[in-house]
Amino acid sequence: MLRYLSSGASFSEILLILLLTIPTVLISLSFHEYAHGYTAYKLGDPTAKSMGRLTLNPIKHFHPIGMLAMLLIGIGWANPVPINARYFKNPKKGMAITAAAGPLMNLFLGFIGLFIYWLIISIMLKLQILEVTPFTRAALTFFSNFSYMNVYLAVFNLLPIPPFDGSRVMFAFLPDRHYFAIMKYERIIMFIVLIAIATGTLSLPFAYITENIIKGMEWIIRIIL
């Protein structure tokens, strides 16, 4: 959104981007948190369910600052689903699987969005529809942004540093003393990463990885279609 504001885009263009982005953010973050809660529940942790967080209702997962950050810089967060590792038979393994569930859900959503995008184009080509209507253009823009944002969110969350999901996956492979030594600096690391993202320092590597994952998805979709 900051890119559009600085580019001198018209009010109508900014409004359209907002109308297309807000549903994407709400869906992406809600499914992400639901995946964490559902996976934890299947592994024996009833915490999310007992607190009413085992739902796709975006209001239950809404975090105002995280939502604003998502709209402005493309990276944000929801209200985290509570997880209690003591319920897991193997806490380390259970936390790693639960943590990985969120990014994997975003990758799945990214694939679905990209599939619908190319399905629309495929249908238009088969029906020899050459004129793109405003509705079709809006739909293609939505599913393109939806796919990219979800894959980008998955890549972002798999960073192997706290407090991201990748650090919980890393927890399964690190000795406890090393892991908890890193976790002491969770807030500082988070602050540094957010600054790096806001200033564009991490944009290029994130974008490179995201675009290559999308290329791989497109290769699979071409085979399907």
| pTM, to two decimals | 0.88
Q: What is the DSSP string of 136-203?
A: HHHHHHHHHHHHHHHHHHHHHHT-SSTTSHHHHHHHTTS-HHHHHHHHTTHHHHHHHHHHHHHTTTTH
pLDDT, tens digit (0-9, with 9 covering 90-100), for 27-76: 999 999 999 999 999 999 999 999 999 999 999 998 888 888 777 776 77
CA-to-CA distance for 56 and 44, rounded, in angstroms?
Answer: 20
Task: Give helix 64-73 / helix 11-42 axis angle, nearest 10°.
Answer: 130
What residues act catalytically?
33
Domain count, the chain: 1
Copy the structure tokens of residue 212.
Answer: 């290559």
Copy the structure tokens of residue 210.
Answer: 């995201």
Residue 152: exposure state from Cβ atoms within 10 A (0-12, 13-18, ≥19): buried
- What does pLDDT average to in each consecutive run of 10 residues of the chain (225 residues)? 53 74 91 96 95 93 84 78 92 92 97 97 91 89 94 91 83 74 75 76 87 97 93
Give me the chain's average pLDDT, please. 86
Q: Which residue has the tokens 């809600």?
A: 30
Copy the structure tokens of residue 146.
Answer: 């939806």
pLDDT, tens digit (0-9, with 9 covering 90-100), for 123-133: 999 998 888 89
CA-to-CA separations, 215 to 105, 120, 137, in angstroms, rounded: 18, 18, 21
Gyration radius of the chain's alpha carbons: 19
Q: What is the pLDDT of residue 167?
A: 83
Residue range(s) defining the domain that contains residue 47: 2-224
Q: What letter represents residue 102's amino acid?
A: G
